[in-house]
Chains A and B, each alone.
Chain A
Amino acid sequence: AQTVTQSQPEMSVQEAETVTLSCTYDTSESDYYLFWYKQPPSRQMILVIRQEAYKQQNATENRFSVNFQKAAKSFSLKISDSQLGDAAMYFCAYRFTQGAQKLVFGQGTRLTINP
């Protein structure tokens, strides 16, 4: 069974600085997707960034980028120029390309932005 592990329950960063959130996963599959979702307090979960496992190039979305290391099964999220609105729970998630394509989530990292 696939598992996703986020080893940092909480992280904090100064506004305008850069922070990296860690994620590791375990799977025997070679074709899958990895995601970072953001869940602000009392608000719904939204997709931050997605990485296809067959792509070697790391995904980037504005201030958000990932470091995808397939052999190491590592998928970290870097947030540059942190803003107060980035404060949220961040969840790393895995999805196999076949079957129900359900998301398997990690435990989450609570990110605090210090002004």
Chain B
Amino acid sequence: DTGVSQDPRHKITKRGQNVTFRCDPISEHNRLYWYRQTLGQGPEFLTYFQNEAQLEKSRLLSDRFSAERPKGSFSTLEIQRTEQGDSAMYLCASSLGSDRVHQETQYFGPGTRLLVL
């Protein structure tokens, strides 16, 4: 299966600890998105990469959050000094697009469910 994969699928951590999630997009996709989904809500945009460049960050992405996409392939999302309010599903999506092509579909991974105790 060559879909979007995320690791780990589940993470339980104690408040104050740092966590890192990984996303592997579909291999030829140049765009990568991170979203956060809390229970009973729709996903909310966190950040966006085109190749290795992080082009947009949401206000939801506090200073404790950092994302990278070295070499334009996989991406990592790190949360430092986790808080209970960080408990959520973190979704990654990828797409193939350009400034001239607007019709690309975002394909989602299975998500990483984070629980902060």
Contact = CB atoms under 8 A, between A and B. Distances in A.
Interface of A: 4, 6, 33, 37, 43-47, 50, 52, 91, 93, 97, 99-108
Interface in B71-117: 91, 93, 95, 97, 102-111
A103 B111 contact: no
Interface of B: 3-4, 31, 33, 35, 40-45, 48, 55-56, 91, 93, 95, 97, 102-111
Contact of B56 (A37, A50, A102): A102
18 contacts: A6-B42, A44-B109, A45-B43, A45-B91, A52-B103, A100-B48, A100-B56, A101-B31, A101-B48, A101-B102, A101-B104, A102-B48, A103-B33, A105-B43, A106-B42, A107-B40, A107-B42, A108-B41
Of the listed residues A43, A100, A108, the one surrounded by the most CB atoms of chain B closer than 10 A to its CB is: A100
A100 B109 contact: no
B91 A104 contact: no
B102 A91 contact: no
A91 B93 CA distance: 15
A108 B4 CA distance: 22
A24 B48 CA distance: 25
A102 B33 contact: yes
Contact of B108 (A33, A45, A104, A108): A45
Given A33-B102, A91-B42, 10 more contacts: A4-B42, A44-B3, A47-B105, A47-B106, A97-B102, A99-B56, A102-B45, A105-B43, A108-B40, A108-B41
A59 to B, nearest CB: 12
